[in-house]
Amino acid sequence: MVRRVAHGEYPINENLSSQPELAGKILSQFQELSRKTEEEALIARLSTRETEVLNYVAQGYSNKQIAAKLDISEQTIKNHVTNIMMKLNARARTQAVVIAAQQGLISIA
């Protein structure tokens, strides 16, 4: 099958393409599987400490305040926030909070 695809053939044969309902169902199952995998990967990528820092960010704490709360350096907090933003593909702290809340990583109360 791999060789046939490499030569330009389609992995879905004519029998399947002549049954659009079945083809649609298969496509929908692949999309659902892909969506679940992406969500699970996103959730798994934040460490416990990053989630903790993100919760403080969501509450409006500054890096300095979070550092004091967690008794670690402000630079460590900056590193955590940078990592969080990269992992969530966010451009700003606020966007990271919104994404995390949408994904169920944190709750905003």
Enter the tokens of residue 55.
Answer: 């919760």
pLDDT for 11 equals 66
Characterise 104 by phi-psi region: left (phi > 0), alpha (psi -120 to 50), beta (else): left
Whether 52 and 70 have beta carbons less than 8 Å apart is answered as: yes
Whether 50 and 80 have beta carbons less than 8 Å apart is answered as: yes
pLDDT at 37 over 70: no
- CATH classification number, 47-102, choose in 2.30.110.10, 2.40.50.140, 1.10.287.1080, 1.10.10.10: 1.10.10.10
Q: How do the domains of the chain map onto residue ranges? A: 2-41, 47-102
pLDDT for 29 equals 78
pLDDT for 14 equals 61
**Per-residue pLDDT reduced to its tens digit, 50-100:** 999 999 999 999 999 999 999 999 999 999 999 999 999 899 999 999 999
What angle separates helix 93-102 from helix 74-87, to the nearest 10 degrees?
50
Cβ of 100: how many Cβ atoms within 10 Å?
A: 26
**Per-residue pLDDT reduced to its tens digit, 15-35:** 666 677 776 777 777 777 776
Q: Angle at CA 32, nearest 5°, toward 3 and 48?
A: 110
